[in-house]
Structure 1
Amino acid sequence: MKKTLIIGATTNPARYAYMAAQMLTSKGHTIVNVGIKKGTVSGVEIEEQGEIHNDIDTITLYIGPHLQSGYYDYILQTNPKRVVFNPGTENRELESLLEQHGIEPLRACTLVLLSTGQY
């Protein structure tokens, strides 16, 4: 199982980040929710960026490129194996930065990856 950090976590069930949290936990993956609003998703509190989790396999992004620069240091310090750029989150600058640090950038949809057994 891949411990996954969700950036852009939300308690809104209509949002893809919420659906991803639900699907990840239903398939046995441990999640860390990071977002700007308080709440709980899939039994896990949403925390603000700050605490560095050193055991993250995958970060999945649900925030647009215009907000991502505020997370660059956090993502690099977390040092995941990969970062999933869900549709609408693609960011060449961050992808290049990740590659420079040996982290795989992956343009994909977390929900599709999970649904097709490719996660």
Structure 2
Amino acid sequence: MKRTIVLGATPDSSRYAYLASNKLARYGHEIINVGIKSGEVAGVPIEKPEYIHHEVDTITMYVGTRNQEPLYDYILNTCPKRIIFNPGTENPELEQLAEQKGIETVLGCTLVMLSTGEY
């Protein structure tokens, strides 16, 4: 299973990040919820983007493009194998920076990818 950071995690059940955390956990993936809100999702606390995790397969983005720049160092220093840019999070600048570090970038939807077996 793929160790995944849900970046932009929230305890708000109406948000796609909430749905993604729960679906990833149901599919057996280890999740790390990272965001600015307090709380937990799928039984996993939401932590602030401060601690750099290692051996991360995927960062799935749920942070809008205009709010991503302060997270660049956190994202790139985590060195995931891939970053999934969910709809509304597309960012050519971050994609280029990631690719320069050998990180695969995917424009897609984590929820759809899980449902179709493409995750």
TM-score w.r.t. length of structure 2: 0.99
Distance (whole Å) between structure 1 residues aligned to residue 93 and residue 111 of structure 2? 24
Q: Does 1:12 align with 2:7?
A: no
Distance (whole Å) between structure 2 residues aligned to residue 88 and residue 22 of structure 1? 20
Distance (whole Å) between structure 2 residues aligned to residue 62 and residue 2 of structure 1? 18
Aligned to 2:52: 52
Shift of 1:56: 0.7
Q: Encode CA deviations 1:19-43: one digit per residue, 9 max, x unaligned.
A: 0000000000000000101101000
Overall identity of the aligned pairs, in % = 58
Q: Does 1:66 align with 2:66?
A: yes
Distance (whole Å) between structure 2 residues aligned to residue 37 and residue 99 of structure 1? 29
Instruction: Mark the runs of 5 or more structure 2 residues left unpaired by the alignment.
Output: none
Shift of 1:87: 0.3
Distance (whole Å) between structure 2 residues aligned to residue 55 and residue 15 of structure 1? 27
Distance (whole Å) between structure 1 residues aligned to residue 8 and residue 40 of structure 2? 13
Distance (whole Å) between structure 2 residues aligned to residue 90 and residue 111 of structure 1? 16
Distance (whole Å) between structure 2 residues aligned to residue 118 and residue 37 of structure 1? 29
SS of corresponding position for 2:106:
strand
TM-score w.r.t. length of structure 1: 0.99
Instruction: Mark the runs of 5 or more structure 1 residues left unpaired by the alignment.
Output: none
